Structure 1
Amino acid sequence: MDHHGVTANPLPCYDVFLSYSWMDYALACRLQAALKAQGLLVFRDERGIRDYQQIDEAIAEHLARSRSLVALYSPAFPESPYCRWELTTALAQAYRLDRHTRRVLAVRHGVDFADLVPAQLADVKLPAATASVEATAASVATHLGQEVDDRVLGDAPSTIPGRWLPHEPQPAPAFRGRWAELWRIKAVLTPGHTPTSPGRVVAVLLGLGGQGKTALAVEYARQFAEEYPGGIFFLHGFGSHLNAHGDHAFVFDIRRRQLEWITRQLTKGQEADEHALRDHLERASLPYLWIVDDLPRDTGDELFDALLAPTANGRTLITTRYESAARRGEPIRLSALADEDAVALLTSARPPAAGERAAARQLACAELGGHPQALSLVAGLAATDNFAGYAALRAELATPGPDAMALADELHGEVAGRRPASVAATLLRSIRELPAPAREVLQLVSVLATAPITEPLLVEIIGAADDVEPAQRAALVSAGLDVARQRGLTQPVHGDDQPLWLVHALVIRTLRFIDLADERRQRFRWAALEILTRRLDDSRPRLRYARLERDLPHLREVARPEQGTGDRYALNEAGRAYVELGDLARAEEVFARLAAACRATLGDDDPSTLAVLVGLAATMDLRGRHRQAIELKVRIHAALARVLGSHDPATLTALHNVAVGHLNLREPAAAAELFRTVYRARRRLLSVHNADTLVSLGDYATAVARAGRPRLAHRLRSVVHERMQRLRGDDDVLTLEALNNLGASQHKAGEVAAAATFEAVYAGRVRLLGPTHPETLSAAENVAIVTDPARLHTVYATRVLEHDPADPHVLATLHNLLADLAPELPTMDGPVPELPAEGRPAPDGPAAPPPGLLLDPLEDFDANTDYRVAVFTRAHVVHEERVRRLGAEDAETLLALCYVGHASALLGQVGHQLEAALDILTDAAAGLREARGANHPQARLADRLRDWVDDQLDG
């Protein structure tokens, strides 16, 4: 009888397909007889399958015509590739039939329940291993009669293609093995699974380089795509090998790009904001799979959490080589491929001749130790016309030469397997046997960072290095990449606007090992440096740096500041670009590296060294370390005055920066005097219509405004905006800065035009800098202040979630937010820091109604505590008022508790103050998750602040 009303298979069917190892032949015969005695029709292969034979089509047909599979699970069972194939196939077909695997039963013989792999086999209760064969057969018959209908495994529907976003990965080499790990992923990501670590369910595939982590993640997604009707999201290209600790800024940028691209696809181009993606997923309320491929090392909790599925109905699967990720998820560790799977992968392109089967097995299992990438590379070698055979290759790899031994030492700890020197020899052989176009392209790739690379960039660099015609160089790159792909050395991936290429880090390391002192490699580096620098220069006039974010890791890789002026200039421009992109931590790292190189090669007082120190000091100022910054600025100005004279443009810029330092330290009179000096000197030297001259005049206006002369400031700002508009146009960051300053004066004077002015500044910065850039958020803050202060929380939350919660801009926004909620307390005034790209201060404005609100305020974060104390006091007042009015457990009260925790952490970022803040934020986060749900924006804000404080304590 068909329990589901499905027409039975007209061909003869079996109740049981008995799967067993040939070593358990006698017991299998007894079990078959006992099952037949229960009235069950049983298929058992009586011929056996020997090594190097393929699965018989007749065996596959018998399995397809069986209602169930019974696995005689002994210690020998999982060692047999044929048993593994039968079990894996039956599990997949059973799951597609019923959404569970109760058609697949394990009869234990000499193993414990804990030894059953996959764990789904232990879900069905069967007699103990000590039970008689007859009792076991009766239990099987009862189970089949009660739990399994008349359909057969072959009735299972075919796998349904998933909806991949932003794109489905390119086809990889044939997938082999990993059946147990695949079902382990299935177990971890099945709803109802209880994670060993608190929080969201995350499966983490762990393995060293070349272990096939990505291939397994993609295979899981394809096998179980129908479980994820909400889509399969594949985030990749995070550059886990950019440096020892990963490049957080680069990872955040790649994440942002891909989320925006995904959102545009889901909303048909109407939206690209990350919050729109989260809203879409929550409204759809469908399960989805979220794959994060190649997680970098030492991401920290903030970045780790940001990379997880954004809503509760998503399941996250991470691939990484770093154990640090295991503490936040369920680790699934990959080891070498099983022997038969390794042989199958190695011989996938060319079956071994009759006399080479043993050599192929020895090569796959003994020499290469089941290392998937090495096996794939050998398969690529075997596909070539000049392949001499598996025996010859095995003999070569069995005795690796000195170069392979040296490479193995260099790759120590990154290559799995019993014979790392043989794996190293395979890498060397694969690269050395490439035809010239592929070898040349890979040699160029190895000069760049281990990050996604656009094909046009490679074409441009080769053209610059060799002066090749455009059509020829494009054909060369395309052909070279295609051959490298066929040999398993590179992989195409989808970018958000154009195709990208990735080369595995082991291949990059091998190429660099081979070509360490190669003259052509040096030409490629010079060409790459020239092209990437020119791209930055072309983007600088209108600050279109956002278009070059993908280039910056490559520029940092090729620039060698100790080698020459061009390298130093390029790295300096990269630092400026990072500032404009709002990545101040990366900017400071770049400037510090460059400053150290300049001091070592040029000396402390060299103009180039001092120019770099200008950028470093300005970036320190932007990060809120004003006292340290002004001390450095004063030394820089004195040195430049000695070396270049007091009226040199570089010296004037240094003096301008000192003035900004005084403004940041709330010394407007001193700042105004210095700004006026710089303005007059620049007017004589550069003319009144020069952009730098106008910046000085605008900054002088800011200083006199803070000194209590708002009318003069208003007049000066009107002049600066009008002239900057004529000089640079409306769609320019300097024009927008002048317009923002004018808006501050309009607002101070009570003019209604201020609202429209700030709206225009905000719209322009969104176009030029993006919606989450610090300056854009400052403009949004000004709009909120003059139109609807209730919107300040949105700006504050965005700053916290997108940037460092310790950033002075975040403190200023929190001050404004609390000033609106508790206007009865006095407000603190404060300036903003400079932007080092032009040595200029960012726009600011004076206090304005409602009482306590500031336009773009900022206070010295290290040297002065009064501003932070004021924020801390306001936070407590707001929280206590909500406790009285709403109660301690109300969600709005818990949100105010987040403000208290944040202000506490900012008040004193060491010792007991941080510990107290952590306790406060832990309570607030738990309460908001319960009151609002784990994915509510307020709960995410609390989690972000708690994790940030926790990181401060750990650090």
Structure 2
Amino acid sequence: MSDVVDFRGGDFRGPVIGKAEYRQQAPAPTALDALPPPAAGFTGRDEELGRLRAALDPSGAGGEQAVLVTAVSGLGGIGKTALAVRAAYAAREEGWFPGGVLFLDLHGYDDAPVTADQALQSLLRALGVEPEHIPVTADERAGLYRSVLADREPVLILADNASSPDQVRPLLPGGGRRHRVLVTSRDRLAALGARLVQLDQLTPGAAYELLDRALRIADPEDDRVVEEPEAAARLAELCGYLPLALQIAVALLAEDPGKAVAELADELGTSYDRLAALDDGDRSVRAAFDLSYRRLPAGQARLLSLLALAPGPEASEEVAAVLVGAEEPPVADLKALARAHLVERGNSRGCWRMHDLVRAFGVSVSAGDAEARQRLLAHYYRWADAADDRLRWFPGEPEPERFRTRADALAWLDRERASLVAAVQWGREERYRHRAVRLALCLCEYLRWRRYFDDMIAVNSAAQQVARVSGDREGEAMASNNLGIALRETGHPRKALVAHFRDRDLCQELGDRNGEALAWNNLGSALAEAGRVEEAIDAFLRARDLHREVGNRTGEAQAWNNLGNALVEADRVEEAMDAFIRSCDLHQALGDRYSASSAWNNLGIALSELGQTDSATEAYGKALAIRKEFEDWYGVAQTLENLGIEHEETHRPAEARAHYLQAADAYAGANAPAEAARVRARAAALTAPATPTDTPAPAAPPARTTDSGRPSPPPPDAPDSAAR
């Protein structure tokens, strides 16, 4: 504006006063570099950061194929904003957005989220539009917003904390593809048509690194994490590898320089309410989860709280239905919770899992629904009992109803194993005692078959204690028997003896002759394992005679087989051969070919001891054929190993090595890695060059593998060490 007022040409007939208004012509302020500072200790997101950079890179996908919108989604506190901000800084440093970077927090999960017209008003002001020029309606604001962007060099819009596609759509630039939008949300915004990047918890290594980096930002000399690596790893695990929880833990350590990492980990690990402990006064994991929880419809909120009660790391859809008391699985609600990142799909089809801290939150908001847990425990017992019936089914008996095949039963048990084992621990509460003990007893045949002996010890230890407290002597006897078997299988024969003696005594008190016979049989196996062979022989003879008395011919056949093993140990091999032949004959008369395979395997050992190589090989061959037929891979491995020993002792190293390697593969497939390593070492020893010495030391003959205590495949034998 000119500073001269020109009155020429005017017709003035009196005094004249000139008045002028001066205005400074300057653009409205802009906010095109408004990124918040990067998060302290940011680490562990290289892959996700690479995906965001690729989506934002203008040279990565030109023309119409360019990625306009990228949406980062994940659980509250998972580090979405930190990742998006880091990506925005990286893009700015690359010079990809010379028009600037706009940042807007949409507060999508607050009580009053930012509306579309509020968001557009903020963006227009950030772009330099004067307030009086901003239209009133949202549609008009959106039109002006797109027009302003059309005249600018490429701009990146970072819309943080969106709760729905509707919050974001008005913010999308129009026309060309030069601009980019980066969105963060707790929900998977699939309807937005965006490039979707899902964020999961950090790896243990990245979580450990975050703790160390963030703590050193507060004090470069603070080396507590490095000095206590095991405690730091435990602390990271207790934080669920969730960045928010880890940052809170760092703040708690930083405000108390004298606190050891182990001390904080102990506080979290023993806290009745871990979420309450993960609060530094400014940030709270519970508050972060509560923002998502409050937005859920009532049905989804109830489902979340009940899923948190489910034992085990995953819950199947049928379990979800049982928990909510519905006939059909609540699949729609599960998918909605997954979109909100409060649950995620599990490793098995139809299964779902929760982050550890979300589970803790769900428990805290649930009413502790005892009825739901009762329903679930009843469901687990009903189906586990049916699966056990199928595993123990014998031809000629009525067909079990719930599972059509053994494979179906095993598949269900495999899927639910962790939850079933965890559910047994509910028996520590009085209301669940009886059913939890029965559930434990239903699992033993399966756990032996799969060789999950640690689980077998866990469930039977719990069942034994619960049954003892509740005065359930029958349940205690059966749990003691099964516990003894698992302890013997894991190399604890003395502890196994204690369990089997307890089983025997309880059966005698109860007058359970059949149970007592099984107890003597299993006690004999533990005595033999402990090196008390003569006592083992006496125990097997007692078992044999008791089985005869009660008419249990299958039990008698087992006792003969185990007696034969003990007689071999006592160097009474010819007597052992007679015992094995009697066992074979009894099992074959019963039509139980599989159980006969155990006796054939052990007969092969006796024949080999007597130098009858051809007959031994023939016996092993019969055992091997049957075991392969029934897919008993542990038994297959035992027999292959014995054949390898036979070939090695008859100076056929190539054949021996081949059988050892086959045995190793079978052991590995049967969840027996220690046995697999042992036979691989035997195979390797056969190929190693001999070391010349003045006086060669005689090689100790390898021990053959007897078979006692195998679980029963289809059709089931009552195994030599019988679970009850």
Q: TM-score range by the shorter chain?
A: 0.5 to 0.7
Q: From 450, 454, 465, give the equivalent of 2:316.
A: 454
- 2:484–2:497 CA contact under 8 A, matched in 1: yes
Q: Indicate yes or no: 2:32 matched with 1:49.
A: yes
Deviation at 1:479, TM superposition (A): 1.8
Partners of 1:462 and 1:675 lie apart in 2 by 47
CA spacing shift, 1:828–1:631, aligned 2, 3 Å: farther
> How far did 1:176 drift?
9.7
Choose which of 642, 648, 651 in structure 2 pairs with 1:782: 642
Give the match for residue 476 of structure 2.
609
Please give the TM-score of this superposition, normalised by the length of structure 2.
Answer: 0.54
CA distance 1:802–1:841, change in 2 (3 Å): closer
8 Å contact kept, 1:204–1:325: no
**Conserved in 1, the CA contact under 8 Å of 2:525 and 2:721?**
no
One-letter code aligned to 1:552: R
Is the CA contact 1:621–1:833 (under 8 Å) kept in the aligned structure 2? no
Matched, 1:87 2:90: yes
Q: Whole-Å Cα distance in 1 between the matches of residues 288 and 314 of structure 2?
A: 24
* Correspondence for 2:469 among 578, 596, 600: 600
Listed one character per residue, the Cα deviations across residues 357-397 of structure 1 (whole Å, up to 9, x for unaligned) are: xxxxxxxx99xx9xxxxxxxxxxxxxxxxxxxxxxxxxxxx
SS at 1:675's partner residue?
A: helix
Secondary structure of the residue aligned to 1:835 is coil
SS of equivalent to 2:352 = strand
Q: Which residue of 2 aligns with 1:835?
A: 709
Note closer, same or farther for the CA distance 1:753–1:519 as it changes in structure 2 (3 Å cut).
same
Aligned to 2:515: 650
* Among candidates 310, 325, 340, match of residue 487 of structure 1: 340
More moved, 738-747 vs 548-557: 738-747
Conserved? CA contact 1:576–1:836, under 8 Å: no
Q: Deviations over 1:252-304 (max 9, x none)?
A: xxxxxxxxxxxxxxxxxxxxxxxxxxxxxxxxxxxxxxxxxxxxxx999xxxx
Report how far residue 554 of structure 1 moved. Answer: 0.8
| Shift in alpha-carbon separation, 1:782–1:436, aligned structure 2, 3 A | farther
Structure 1 position 743 matched with structure 2 position 604: yes
Matched, 1:622 2:622: no
Letter of the structure 2 residue corresponding to residue 724 of structure 1: H
Cross-structure match for 1:856? none
Do residues 204 (structure 1) and 205 (structure 2) align?
A: yes
Alignment of 1:660 onto 2:529: no
Quick one: distance in 2 between partners of 1:541 and 1:62? Answer: 65
Deviation string 1:319-362 (CA, Å, 9 cap, x unpaired) is x9856899xxxxxx97459xxxxxxxxxxxxxxxxxxxxxxxxx
What are the residue-to-residue correspondences of 1:223-242 with 2, within 5 Å? Answer: none
Cα gap change, 1:81 to 1:619, in 2 (>3 Å): closer
CA distance in 1, matches of 2:82, 2:504: 74
Counterpart CA distance in 1 for 2:489 and 2:678 is 13
TM superposition shift of 1:439: 4.2
Unaligned runs of 5+ in 2: 1-28, 37-51, 63-80, 97-175, 177-187, 211-228, 252-270, 394-405, 648-654, 691-695, 713-717
Contact 1:437/1:479, CA 8 A, preserved across alignment = no
Q: For residue 637 of structure 1, what is the aligned residue in structure 2?
A: 504
Q: Which has the larger radius of gyration?
A: 2
CA contact (8 A) 1:736 1:761 kept: yes
Q: 2:353 aligns with which of 488, 502, 508?
A: 502
Decide which of 516, 522, 530 is 2:373's aligned counterpart: 522
Distance 1:416 1:791, change over 3 A: farther
CA deviations 1:875-927 (Å, max 9, x no partner) are xxxxxxxxxxxxxxxxxxxxxxxxxxxxxxxxxxxxxxxxxxxxxxxxxxxxx
Deviation at 1:567, TM superposition (A): 0.9
Structure 2: distance between partners of 1:80 and 1:515: 32
How far apart are 1:666 and its partner, in Å? 4.4
Give the corresponding residue for 2:577. Answer: 714
- TM-score by length of structure 1 reads 0.42
| Equivalent position amino acid for 2:205 in 1 | V
Give yes or no for contact 2:564–2:576 (8 Å, CA) kept in 1.
Answer: yes
Q: What does the per-residue CA deviation read over 1:776-827, in whole Å, with 9 as the maximum and x for residues that have no partner?
A: 432331232234332476456986999788x699779978987999982454
SS in 2 for 1:501: strand
Match of 1:589 in 2: 458
The alpha-carbon distance between structure 1 residues 741 and 426, as it changes in their structure 2 partners (threshold 3 A), is same
C-alpha change, 1:572 and 1:419, in structure 2 (3 Å) is farther
Aligned length: 493
State the match for 1:671 in structure 2. 536
Task: Specify whether residues 796 and 637 from structure 1 end up closer, same or farther in structure 2 by C-alpha distance, changes over 3 A only.
Answer: same
Residues 685 and 491 from structure 1, CA distance in 2 versus in 1: closer, same or farther, beyond 3 angstroms? same
Tell me if the contact between 1:793 and 1:817 (Cα under 8 Å) persists in the aligned partners: no
8 Å contact from structure 1 (residues 622, 833) kept in 2: no
Does residue 703 of structure 1 match 2:703? no
Secondary structure, counterpart of 2:353 in structure 1: strand
1:49 maps to a residue whose letter is: L
- Percent identical pairs in the alignment equals 13
| Equivalence map 1:852-867=2 (5 Å) | none
CA contact (8 A) 1:576 1:587 kept: no
**SS of alignment partner, residue 49 of structure 1:** coil
The code of the aligned residue for 2:335 comes to D
Contact 1:515–1:521 (Cα < 8 Å) also in 2 = no
Shift of 1:612: 1.6
Contact 1:439–1:480 (CA under 8 A) maintained in structure 2:
no
Alignment partner of 1:478 is 2:331: yes
SS of 2:344's equivalent?
A: strand
> Following the alignment from structure 2 to structure 1, what is the Cα–Cα distance between the partners of residues 300 and 365?
15
* Preserved contact between residue 644 and residue 651 of structure 1 (Cα < 8 Å): no
1:551 aligns with 2:416: yes
1:584–1:64 Cα change, 3 Å: closer
CA distance in 2, matches of 1:579, 1:671: 22
Letter in 2 for 1:590: V
1:569 correspondence with 2:438? yes
SS at structure 1 position matched to 2:205:
strand
In structure 2, C-alpha distance between the alignment counterparts of 1:81 and 1:759, rounded to whole Å: 64
Residue equivalent to 2:362: 511
| Secondary structure at 2:598 match in 1 | helix
Question: Kindly tell me: are residues 607 and 526 of structure 1, through their superposed partners in 2, closer, same or farther at Cα, counting changes over 3 Å?
Answer: closer
Report the Cα distance in structure 1 between the residues aligned to 2:560 and 2:82, rounded to whole angstroms. Answer: 80
User: Take 2:306 and 2:629, find their aligned partners in 1: how far apart are those partners?
Assistant: 34
Q: Does 1:537 align with 2:388?
A: yes
Conservation of the 8 A alpha-carbon contact between 1:546 and 1:581: no
Q: Is the 8 A contact 2:521 2:721 kept in 1?
A: no
Shift of 1:527: 3.5
Q: Distance in 2 between matches of 1:627 and 1:685?
A: 29
CA–CA separation in structure 1 for the residues paired with 2:414 and 2:514: 30
Gaps of 5+ in 1: 1-45, 66-77, 94-153, 155-168, 186-201, 210-297, 301-319, 327-332, 338-364, 370-407, 844-955
Contact 2:464 2:479 survives alignment (8 Å) = yes
CA distance, structure 2, for counterparts of residue 842 and residue 817 of structure 1: 33
8 A contact 1:448–1:557 mirrored in 2: no
Aligned twin of 2:698: 824
Q: Which residue number corresponds to residue 266 of structure 2?
A: none
Measured against aligned partners, the alpha-carbon deviations of 1:409-449 in whole angstroms (never above 9, x if no partner) come to 7134885876454x424534644654455345445533323
- Distance in 2, matches of 1:808 and 1:539, equals 29
- Which structure ranks higher in relative contact order (CA pairs < 8 Å, sequence separation ≥ 6)? 2
